[in-house]
């Protein structure tokens, strides 16, 4: 009964080769978030969607893009991964109006060679 699902759990890519991480949810939440978490650091918000409205954090590099084709799915695209983009990427969802809680997926660990 997984609620926030992330695939794959581990992703290896090459320097400069585009990569897409996926997130899906069964909670029907209207808000979806993407975080980047580097080793021994707190999660850092990259962007979030409120329904179809995209909200980018001011310091999120242009190299990171996102798509949300429907309520259930959200994708993180890294157009040209660098070595510094190796991290855990966490997806989270919240209902905003019903409950002020974010629910996290298990994360995708990205390795850039």
Using CB under 8 A as the criterion, which residues of the chain lie in contact with other proteins when the complex forms?
4, 6, 31, 40-43, 45, 48, 88, 90, 92, 94, 96-97, 100-107, 109
Q: 39 or 70: whose CB is closer to other proteins?
A: 39
- Least separation in angstroms between CB 29 and other proteins: 12
CA 54, CA 68: separation in Å to the nearest integer?
9
- Least separation in angstroms between CB 14 and other proteins: 22
Burial of 76 (0-12, 13-18, 19+ CB in 10 A): buried
Report the chain's C-alpha Rg in angstroms. Answer: 13
- Find out whether 33 and 97 touch, Cβ atoms under 8 Å: no
- Find out whether 49 and 93 touch, Cβ atoms under 8 Å: no
- Least separation in angstroms between CB 58 and other proteins: 12
Q: 81 or 105: whose CB is closer to other proteins?
A: 105
Q: 10 or 84: whose CB is closer to other proteins?
A: 10
């Amino acid at each position: 009964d997984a609620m926030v699902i992330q695939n794959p759990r581990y992703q290896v890519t090459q320097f400069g080769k585009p990569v897409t991480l996926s997130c899906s949810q069964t909670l029907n939440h209207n808000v979806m978030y993407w975080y980047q978490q580097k080793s021994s650091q707190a999660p850092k918000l990259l962007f979030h969607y409120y329904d179809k409205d995209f909200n980018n954090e001011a310091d999120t590099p242009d190299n990171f893009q996102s798509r949300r084709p429907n309520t259930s799915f959200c994708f993180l695209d890294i157009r040209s991964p660098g070595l510094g983009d190796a991290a855990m990427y966490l997806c989270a969802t919240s209902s905003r109006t019903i409950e002020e809680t974010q629910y996290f997926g298990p994360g995708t660990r990205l390795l850039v060679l």
